[in-house]
Amino acid sequence: MESKIAVIGLGYVGLPLAVALAKSYVVVGYDISEHRVREIKEGYDRTNEIEETVLKKSSLQVSTDANSMLGCDVFIVTVPTPVDASNTPDLEPLRRASAALGEIITKGCVVVYESTVYPGVTEDFCGPILEKISGLKAGVDFYLGYSPERINPGDKVHTVEKITKVVAAQTPDIAQKIAQIYGKMNNNNIFIAKTIKAAEAAKVIENTQRDINIAFMNEISLIFSKMNISIYDVLDAASTKWNFLKFSPGLVGGHCIGVDPYYLAQASKSLGHDPQMILAGRSINESMANELADLMTQRAGRPLRLLVLGLTFKENVPDLRNTKVVDLVEALKKRGHQVDVHDACADPKEASQFFNYNLVPVLTVDNHYDGVVGAVPHDLYCQFTSADFGRFLKPQGQVFDLKAIWRKSPPSGFNYWIL
């Protein structure tokens, strides 16, 4: 009998996964947000990962009622795993999802976690919650699995159907079963990890590795800036070597790279090991907003009326979670600058709700800004010409290009600065 699958959590990870699996299986999507479920039913995905036509044609059933998952035998958990204000891993979403599933699962069920965690969370944290509430025994009456998510928001090339899926489970037979389920979605592009802990560790180091490499770029960009050398000129030369790793500096936010290293650090500390490199990288990246604000303030020589272009955590996505542009805006304000923000992709209501920012709705012809800050390279901003800058920037105004957006064609008639 074909498996009936429930996907718990319908965000950036869960919805694309559920839609892809629904091409081969009966799939129920569960989310606690009534607003989110209502939008999906109407064919609208606010994350812009699934097009309206695809969503409306999908056989996926979505609900906020946990009872809609009754009768499913495979459950895939894709809830977020954030950190709290002190950067300590917050497992509460996982706890709630596991508790809800404890009321639903029956003998023979498989529960697969995709949420990013440190090694041991699936078996030592989630498993006991499921056991306590269900009265069943993990590895005997039901089975645990893990398959780390690799969704890259806004990436239309490396979609869930086209990437290698890592899977692991408590037994070889269950690992094969999970591999077959995901394999129908991505043409059997599956890697079966040795253990669940190995799969958990693989996921958490993927983003930690990127975080450390970006931290190195951020540090050397600050060093070279003091030497009046652009990091991008340096990278052009260095990247001609065959084995040079191509990373670039920037504000490291979002719900993965800026968060996952803290999960690995937490596990390390619990074992009595001081994760010096991991936390050093985090420290550098967390301080980057203040460093950039200092550089721009020194360049300006006086408080300016600034327009920051971009608020989301990365280009061409509406996601505002853990965006470090907010840190930059606040750092500039503390240094005496007046700051307005425009974003070509963000939801103005979310910007107001999350940060109390009233986004500039339209870039109009008023020429009243002393400076413009290129913070996020949305496609709209990449296309700006000197005439576009002239619509909202004073003659000889400052252009602070933090992401090399206009490096190949710097706007004329303005003072252009690049990191």
Q: What is the pLDDT of residue 1?
A: 65
Q: What is the pLDDT of residue 151?
A: 79
What distance in Å separates the CA atoms of residue 108 and residue 24, rounded to the nearest whole number? 21
Q: In which band, very low, low, confident or very high, does the pLDDT at 152 lie, cut at 50, 70 and 90?
A: confident
pLDDT surpassing 90 at residue 400: yes
Q: Give the number of other Cβ atoms within 10 Å of residue 348's Cβ.
A: 14
Active-site residues, by number, are: 256
What would the pLDDT profile of 181-198 be if each residue is shown by its tens digit?
Answer: 999 999 999 999 999 999
Q: What is the pLDDT of residue 364?
A: 78
Q: In which band, very low, low, confident or very high, does the pLDDT at 157 lie, cut at 50, 70 and 90?
A: confident
Q: What average pLDDT score do residues 199-222 get?
A: 96
Q: Give the number of other Cβ atoms within 10 Å of residue 259's Cβ.
A: 24
Closest among 19, 10, 41, 52 to 159, alpha carbons compared: 19
Q: What is the pLDDT of residue 254?
A: 82
For the whole model, what pTM was predicted? 0.92
pLDDT surpassing 70 at residue 401: yes
Pair of tokens at residue 297: 């303030």
Instruction: Kindly give the residue spans of alpha helices, DSSP state H, lying in 171-275.
Output: 172-186, 196-226, 231-238, 260-270
pLDDT surpassing 80 at residue 153: no
Q: Which has more pLDDT, 258 or 14? A: 14
What would the pLDDT profile of 359-395 be if each residue is shown by its tens digit?
Answer: 999 887 666 899 999 999 999 999 999 999 999 999 9
In the predicted model, what is the mean pLDDT of the chain? Answer: 95
pLDDT surpassing 90 at residue 24: yes
Alpha-carbon distances, residue 387 vs 114, 368, 414 (angstroms): 47, 15, 11
Q: What is the pLDDT of residue 367?
A: 63
Instruction: Please state whether 228 falls in left (phi above 0), alpha (psi between -120 and 50) or beta.
Output: left
Q: In which band, very low, low, confident or very high, does the pLDDT at 242 lie, cut at 50, 70 and 90?
A: very high
Q: In which band, very low, low, confident or very high, does the pLDDT at 296 lie, cut at 50, 70 and 90?
A: very high
Q: What is the pLDDT of residue 150?
A: 86
Beta sheet of 369-374, edge-to-edge order: 338-342, 305-309, 369-374, 393-401, 415-418
Q: What is the pLDDT of residue 85?
A: 86
Closest among 286, 224, 233, 271 to 85, alpha carbons compared: 286
Q: What average pLDDT score do residues 265-289 get?
A: 95
What 3-state class would DSSP assign to 137? coil
What distance in Å separates the CA atoms of residue 410 and residue 404, rounded to the nearest whole number? 10
Q: What average pLDDT score do residues 213-238 get?
A: 96
Q: In which band, very low, low, confident or very high, does the pLDDT at 94 lie, cut at 50, 70 and 90?
A: very high
Beta sheet of 61-63, edge-to-edge order: 61-63, 26-30, 4-8, 74-77, 110-113, 143-146, 165-169, 190-192
What distance in Å separates the CA atoms of residue 392 and residue 338, rounded to the nearest whole number? 15
Q: Which has more pLDDT, 59 or 366? A: 59
| Cβ contacts of 181 within 8 Å, gap of 6 or more | 3, 5, 21, 25, 74
Alpha-carbon distances, residue 41 vs 15, 55, 63, 70, 83 (angstroms): 12, 8, 9, 20, 30
Percent of the chain past pLDDT 90, that is, above it, reads: 90
Q: In which band, very low, low, confident or very high, does the pLDDT at 326 lie, cut at 50, 70 and 90?
A: very high
Domains of the chain and any CATH numbers? 4-194 (3.40.50.720), 209-418 (3.40.50.720)
Q: Calculate the CA 99 to chain-centre distance.
A: 25
DSSP E strands, 288-414:
305-309, 338-342, 369-374, 393-401
Q: In which band, very low, low, confident or very high, does the pLDDT at 414 lie, cut at 50, 70 and 90?
A: very high
